[in-house]
Amino acid sequence: MTSDLEPTLTFLNGTTTVGGVQALARVGSSALCFDFGATPNPAGSLFSWPCPPPEDGSLAAHLRAGMAPLVEGLYDPAQLEDFGGGVRAACEPMRHEARLLDGMPLVDDLEHVGVFVSHVHNDHCGLLPFAGPHIPVAMSSDGAALHAGLVDTGHLPGTPARVRGLRDGEHLVIGDLDLELVPVDHDVPGAAGFVLAAGDRRIAWTGDWRAHGHAPERMTAFAERAAEVDVLVTEGTTLRPDASPVRPLSETELTERVDRLLTGTNGLAFVTPYPRNLQRLAALRDVAAANGRTLVLRPQTLALWRSAARHGLSGPGPNGEGKPLAVLAVGDAPSKSGETQVGIEDLRSDRNGFLVELQVPDRWVALAVGAGPGDLLVHCNGEPLGPRAAEWTSLAAWVQAPGLDFVWLDSGGHATPDDLAWFVEAVRPRAVVAVHSAYPQLFPRTGSPLVLPRRGQSFPVSRPAPLGLGARGSDAARTVVPCA
């Protein structure tokens, strides 16, 4: 597909924050918004868990706070009916000179608009409840199954939009834009990026990715399919001035470590995984069984896994080849008949029989069963996410006070600086854009010019030299180009 109009990229959010990437690829009156979440932390957004948005008028509040793209026709008109269904009127109070949205672009001349969601993490999909019922929302087929499972089990609100799950290599055409879905390796099922044909230009977006997870070969395949794109947009989450040079564990290494820990533990064993990393849950189930233990999940976690599987999620399901799995039955936790339930007395009487998911709301269980020295807690990328998180101090207290043996096994979802450099050199783009990072200026040197867009800025995807730069080479490798 070709167009005489020059494609443009506009970066609306997520340029200097982890999460909340919102970019707009456009040719003429056709546009694709990617991704569609909000920055999750108070330092980068006005609404977050300490300060939630209002229940009534939440969309208008997000628009006024600069947390949602100012794009007419993108949203559910019913949620803007107090403003005639329009974005301009809803955010008008904050668009005057020196107000919050002064200078932020408002796009109001599109005929075709769609949304791409790279994966089902809230900072990439959290705006879906606002999308209009006429809007095509593309994600991978596994991402769509997981999203449906999260909605079914109350973990996420639904969306009025038309969610379309795409298979590997499947295309979605939005006016003059042609999107091809490309899977990536991340710590949640269904993560994917795209290669986008915009007129006669090509743009690639990785979403969040890593090269040490369940399927690192996906990143090699992505690099081949995105080879020599005009612009590569990639995350840079791990870039920090105090970043550790230690490489994160692979998923295989993490499982092997848990196996050795369980073999050496004569007592209670708890684990804190990330509940949406369903492949890791399957690995924990299997390694627990190999050590004569049953993995015991929170009812909410097991319900999500079962629901996503019912919606067609590929990969291991909760009922894997006779490996035992149970649900933690404590307090008023919901459970279904027919599930194997494990309660406080079961844990007390069979201290070597289980590996128990222990998330923040259920930490009291450790006290109820008398956990102490010799009992094990393995923290593997559940909440809190790491020592920089405010809640880490509380976790330390819960470990130290009863005297638990604590092991932190880190196999996160984001690319290391070395992997970022490897990937860019493998793709050889005409320009690389670093987003989803608090320190994008620390992106490693490569043979491609680095673009650091400021929030709200646009640039053309031009040839032969994107952004007015010269050809790639030693000079380009040292070039950092803020968007003009």
For residue 479, the model assigns a pLDDT of 44
Sequential pLDDT tens for the chain (484 residues): 445 589 999 999 999 999 999 999 999 999 999 999 999 888 889 998 889 999 899 999 999 999 999 999 999 999 999 988 899 999 999 999 999 999 899 999 999 999 999 999 999 999 999 999 999 999 999 999 999 999 999 999 999 999 999 999 999 999 999 999 999 999 999 999 999 999 999 999 999 999 999 999 999 999 999 999 999 999 999 999 987 777 899 999 999 999 999 999 999 999 999 999 999 999 999 999 999 999 999 999 999 999 999 999 998 899 866 788 999 998 666 666 568 999 999 999 999 999 999 999 999 999 999 999 999 999 999 999 888 888 899 999 999 999 999 999 999 999 999 999 999 999 999 999 999 999 999 999 999 999 999 999 999 998 654 554 433 333 333 344 444 3
Could you tell me if 23 and 34 are in contact, meaning their C-beta atoms sit under 8 angstroms apart?
yes
Going by C-alpha positions, the residue among 88, 22, 87 that lies closest to residue 59 is 87
For residue 468, the model assigns a pLDDT of 42
For residue 470, the model assigns a pLDDT of 34
Could you tell me if 213 and 250 are in contact, meaning their C-beta atoms sit under 8 angstroms apart?
yes
Q: How far apart are CA 207 and CA 7, in angstroms?
A: 20
217: phi then psi, degrees, rounded to nearest 5: -65, -20
Q: Mean pLDDT score of the chain, rounded to an integer?
A: 92
Residue 452, C-beta contacts closer than 8 angstroms, at least 6 positions apart: 15, 433, 434, 440, 441, 480, 481, 482, 483
Supply the pTM of this predicted model: 0.92
- CA distances, 52 to each of 56, 93, 315, 368, 473 (Å): 12, 20, 35, 33, 47
For 61-100, the DSSP string reads HHHHTT-S--BTTSB-GGGGGGGTT-HHHHHGGG-STTST
Could you tell me if 243 and 414 are in contact, meaning their C-beta atoms sit under 8 angstroms apart?
no
Q: How far apart are CA 299 and CA 331, in angstroms?
A: 11
For residue 1, the model assigns a pLDDT of 44
Strand positions, DSSP E, 361-421 = 376-380, 405-408
For 64-93, give one letter per residue: b (16+ CB within 10 A) or e.
Answer: bbbbbbbbbbbbbeebbeebebbbeebbbe
Q: How far apart are CA 308 and CA 361, in angstroms?
A: 23
- Neighbouring CB atoms inside 10 A of 362's CB total 18
- What the block records as the tokens of 372 is 């102490």
Domains of the chain: 8-241+414-482 (3.60.15.10), 251-408 (3.40.50.10710)
Going by C-alpha positions, the residue among 389, 469, 388, 473 that lies closest to residue 433 is 469
- Neighbouring CB atoms inside 10 A of 129's CB total 17
Q: How far apart are CA 286 and CA 70, in angstroms?
A: 47
- The kind and range of the H/E element at 308 are helix 299-310
